[in-house]
Amino acid sequence: MLKIINLLGKVSLSTIENIGKLTLFIFKSFFWLFKTPFYSKQFLFQLLDVAFYSLPVVGLTTFFSGMVLALQTFSGFDNFNDESTISKIVLTSILRELGPVLAGLMVCGRVGAKMAAEIATMRVSNQIDALQTLSTRPIQFLISTRLLASIIAVPFLVLIGNIIGVFGGFVVATFKLDLNPILYMMSTIDNFNLIDLIQGLVKALVFGIIIAIISCYFGYNASGGAEGVGRATTISVVTASTLILTSTYFITALFI
Amino acid sequence: MEEKKIINVKNLSVSFSNNIVINDIDFHLSRKESLVIIGKSGSGKSVLLRCLMGLLKPDHGSIEIDGINIVNANRIDKENALKNIGVTFQNGALFDSLTVWENITFKETKFFGFNKQKAKEKALLIIKNLELDENILELYPSELSGGMQKRVAIARAICDNPKVLFFDEPTSGLDPITGKIINNLIEKTVIKLGVSAITITHDISSIENLASRIILLDNHKIAWSGKPNDMKISKNKIVKQFLVNT
Ligand SMILES: Nc1ncnc2c1ncn2[C@@H]1O[C@H](COP(=O)(O)OP(=O)(O)O)[C@@H](O)[C@H]1O
Ligand SMILES: [Mg+2]
């Protein structure tokens, strides 16, 4: 019994400690963004990596989601197989939910894992200490730049993903379901709702912050050689994707 | 007298949770002095050096660098005091995503708009003095041998003309011959640049080349300190034990 209480105490203490550390880490990452020097080289390098190189996977996944949405709607709602219903369901689901969540999860797997592994490797091989001895604040140089890149890149990817996803729906609706392309397109434009787009972009922004902060946090606090790097990578991907899928609920609730 | 001391450490204690690593030690580094800190593996040498680099906050005590106590100084003073220190880490700690010349001139190349030609020439000048070949400039750290990595790490540490150099186990992981070469290079570099240096090592052969004074760490304390010649004839039990074991 005592052992259990002891264990519970330890776990809750370390949880509280971690939350405190994470809060400080978030604060520092944003704080140093607004201080000189701004490491534009490092930032652009990261931006290219997150935004440009994630385009293929984000494009591919959203394209197929748009297609499957159109197909499912068609077979699922026998009585509403008209252009207006299908285009509306495809458009709103993509804009509000599927675009941001898919892009978020893809970027989390591709970029988040990379950020965590890179920074953890730098930690366990003393490269982060070396940065400090070379008059370079590690958080400003490594974390703030990645955070900003992610904040800009994820909404950008979601925007592109939205367009591709809606197009995917259009392709299935017209080529496979024999709906009228002009009517489908007209009703897509008719059904467009700015607030849906904004909801998705707010999510994208939050996901961008989650991915960069969580990956960098676990990478930055890694210890224990190659195994520690692996551990940091796994836990950051699991934590960030869990947070993405839970936070999307709460953001949705805000918009309803 | 006081301003001759470039680093002055007083009552320094460091522990990790309940594990005391350094217990209330005092020492100093004078200008143009080459201090060697020796001690068994795990005796807290790296921890001590990390405190001096401002990477680790001690439990107690003060560390004055150029008259500024970095333990409780504000951020700007601390950063300014630490600017003049060049560090070579135990494992080299080179940036593995950058080439050799980018590593050496990191303080410039981390920004846009540096002069590539100039930076490379600067790096070349430094590595020539460290008996490295020009054609490694474009290589990545993983493509270098251990001895080369150590030398590139030294090059990076001295690139910006620091006043103080720290070397953490510069010969660890090297064969005795390469170790000797590295020791000689450090000796030459320290004299040539006219800097103060702290070298930590458990390798007794480093001492003969480098030390103008020695500190022996044992059991969380300074067990002995003095000139290299006095060490060999010392009657101190811990010194004798250390000399026999290494
Ligand atoms: N980050 C740390 N957390 C906990 N214990 C540490 C840490 N760093 C060093 N230690 C402990 O401090 C002691 C001294 O380590 P170190 O200074 O690396 O020894 P060495 O003299 O070989 O360089 C060791 O017992 C080590 O376990
Ligand atoms: Mg050590």
In this prediction the pTM is 0.93
pLDDT at A23: 96
Q: What does the pLDDT look like over A1-24, one tens digit per residue?
A: 788 888 888 888 888 988 999 999
CA dihedral A90, A195, A56, A121 (to 10 degrees): -130
Q: Do B54 and A40 touch (CB under 8 A)?
A: no
* Count of pairs with CB atoms under 8 A, one residue in A, one in B: 56
Instruction: Quote the CA–CA distance of A213 and A243 in Å, as a whole number.
Output: 12
Measure the CA angle with vertex A180, ends A176 and A184; round to 5°: 95
Instruction: Quote the CA–CA distance of B237 and B216 in Å, as a whole number.
Output: 12
pLDDT at A80: 66
Q: Are A226 and A117 in contact (CB under 8 A)?
A: no
Q: Is the pLDDT of residue B2 over 90?
A: no
**Stretch B87-110: mean pLDDT:** 95
Among the bound ligands, the one closest to the CA of B167: 2
Among B12, B15, B16, which residue has the most ligand 1 atoms within 8 Å of its CB, making it the best to mutate?
B16
Spell out which residues of chain A touch residue B53, defining contact as CB-CB under 8 Å.
129, 132-133
- Residues, beta carbon < 5 Å, ion ligand 2: B 46
Phi, psi angles (nearest 5°) of residue B189? -60, -45
Q: Are B215 and B38 in contact (CB under 8 A)?
A: yes
Minimum distance, in Å, between the CA of residue A52 and any CA atom of chain B = 20
pLDDT at A119: 98
Q: Do A37 and B91 touch (CB under 8 A)?
A: no
Spell out which residues of chain A touch residue B94, defining contact as CB-CB under 8 Å.
127, 130
Spell out which residues of chain A touch residue B90, defining contact as CB-CB under 8 Å.
126
- CB nearest to B106's CB, from A126, A129, A134: A134
Let me know if B227 is exposed, middle or buried by CB neighbors in 10 A (0-12, 13-18, 19+): exposed
Q: Can you tell me which atom of ligand 1 is nearest the CA of B168?
A: 23
**ipTM of predicted complex:** 0.93
At B86, list the tokens: 């060049």
pLDDT greater at residue B2 or residue A23: A23
Q: What does the pLDDT look like over B178-229, one tens digit per residue?
A: 999 999 999 999 999 999 999 998 877 778 778 899 999 999 999 999 998 8
Q: B1 falls in which pLDDT band (50, 70, 90)?
A: very low
Q: Is B43 in the pocket of ligand 1 (CB under 6 A)?
A: yes
Q: B234 falls in which pLDDT band (50, 70, 90)?
A: confident
